[in-house]
Structure 1
C-alpha cells in the first residue's frame, strides 16, 4: 500500500471520528455547538489522540446516556453471574433464568427511555437556560404580557419535569445495578457458606420492587407518549 493510500485511509478514519465526536457532544446552545464543532475538527488530523479523549469526556458527563448504558450492562452481567451461582441449588427458584430475563428486559426498556429523554433534552428547543431567560425577559416587559408569561413558565416547567424524569431514571438504574451486584455476591456467599433462603429472599424482594418501579414509570410514559407536551 502506497503512502497516498495510507493518507486517504487516515483522512477517512479522521472524518469518521469527527462525525462520531460531534454526534456525541452537547448541542444545547450556540456555545455548546461551537465547542462540538471545534472538537470534531480536531479529530480530523489528530483522531488517534483526540477521539478517545473527547468520547471519554462525553461518557463522564452526569446524566448522560452512556453512563446509563453502563449501569444496564452492570445489571445484566451481575444477573448472569447470579443465575450461574444459584443454578442447581435451593436458591434457583429465587433467581431463575426466566426471572433474570424479565429483569434484563425492564432494564433495557428503562435505559432506552433514558436515552430518548437525554437526546431530546440536548435539542435547542429544550434548553432550560434559554427558557428561563425567556421568562425573565417577559417579566421585564411589564403589563400586557400575562398570557405570554404563563406560556413561558409552562414551557420552562415542562423542560424541568423532563430533566427530573431523565435524572430519576439514571439514579434508579444506578441504584438497581448496585443492588443486583449485591444480590450476586450474596448468592455466591449463600452457596458456599450455606446461608438460609430467607437471608437471600429479602434482597431479591428489594430487586423486584425496584424493577416494578421502573416498569410502572415506563408504562406511564408510554401511555402519555402519544400526547404532545403543552408548551
Structure 2
C-alpha cells in the first residue's frame, strides 16, 4: 500500500471520527463542530477523549437528557441496520418507539424529582439540622422528633429515586449503544440471530424495569405522601 493510500485511509478515518464526535457531543453546535474538526488530523488521540466525555448535571448526577438522546440515536441507527435483514424482527420501528417512550417517561420523572429537590422545603441538610436541633431539646419533643425524622427520610427516599433513575438511564443508554454496534456487526459479519438475541433481551429487561419503577412510585413526585 502506497503512502498516498495510507493518507487517504487516515483522512477517511478522521472524517468518520469527526462525524461520531459531532453527533455524540453534549455541547452546543459551535463547540461540537470544533471538537469534530480536531478529530480530522488528530483522531487517534482526540477521538477517544471526546467520545468518552460525559456531561454531568449540577450535583454530579448524570445528564438524563443526554442519556435519553443517546438511546434515541442508537435505536434509530440500530433499526436502520436491521432493515431488510433477518434481525428486523428483533428491533422493529414499533419496538424502538416503545423503548423511546419509556425512556422519555423516566427522563421526565427524573427532571421533575430534580426540580422538586432543589426547592427549599426539600433541603436534606436543613432537614437533618432540624432533627439534630429537636434532639438537643430533650424531653417533651417525641412527636416533633418523629415528624422531623419522617420529613428527612422522605427527602432521602426522593433523592434515592432521582439518583436511581439517572443511573438506570445511563446504563440503558450504554446498553442500547452496545446493541447498535452488535447489530451493525451482525449485519456485516453475518453473525447469527442468537448472538444478538441476548442483548436485545437485556435491553427489554432494563426498559421494563424502568416502567415498573415509574408505575410503582408514580405518586412520589406529584405531591402524594410517601408511606413509611
TM-score by length of 2: 0.73
Deviations, residues 41-86 of structure 1 (Å, cap 9, x unaligned): 9999999999999999996335678810000000000000000001
Counting only pairs closer than 5 Å after superposition, residues 139-150 of structure 1 correspond to structure 2 as 139-150=135-146
Q: CA deviation at 1:194?
A: 0.4
The answer (yes or no) to whether the contact 2:113–2:221 under 8 Å persists in 1 is no
Aligned equivalents of 1:134, 1:12: Cα separation in 2: 62
Q: CA deviation at 1:130?
A: 0.2
SS of equivalent residue, structure 2 residue 129: helix
Deviations, residues 2-27 of structure 1 (Å, cap 9, x unaligned): 999999999999999999999999xx
Aligned equivalents of 2:15, 2:82: Cα separation in 1: 48
Which residue matches 2:227?
230
Aligned equivalents of 2:59, 2:34: Cα separation in 1: 23
Aligned equivalents of 2:53, 2:75: Cα separation in 1: 29
Aligned equivalents of 2:37, 2:187: Cα separation in 1: 54
Q: Does 1:151 align with 2:133?
A: no
Q: CA deviation at 1:154?
A: 0.3
The answer (yes or no) to whether the contact 1:83–1:92 under 8 Å persists in 2 is yes
Deviations, residues 103-151 of structure 1 (Å, cap 9, x unaligned): 0000000000000000000000000000000000000001000110000
Aligned equivalents of 2:123, 2:82: Cα separation in 1: 48
Gap change, CA 1:80 and 1:152, over 3 Å in 2: same
TM-score by length of 1: 0.72
Aligned equivalents of 2:135, 2:33: Cα separation in 1: 34
CA RMSD of aligned residues (A): 11.8
Deviations, residues 141-185 of structure 1 (Å, cap 9, x unaligned): 010001100000000000000000000000000000000000000
Structure 2 unaligned regions, length at least 5: none
Aligned equivalents of 1:46, 1:188: Cα separation in 2: 26
Deviations, residues 77-104 of structure 1 (Å, cap 9, x unaligned): 0000000001000000000000000000
The answer (yes or no) to whether the contact 2:117–2:159 under 8 Å persists in 1 is yes
Q: CA deviation at 1:219?
A: 1.1
Choose between structure 1 and 2: higher helix proportion: 1
The answer (yes or no) to whether the contact 2:183–2:196 under 8 Å persists in 1 is yes
The answer (yes or no) to whether the contact 1:17–1:44 under 8 Å persists in 2 is yes
The answer (yes or no) to whether the contact 2:55–2:66 under 8 Å persists in 1 is no
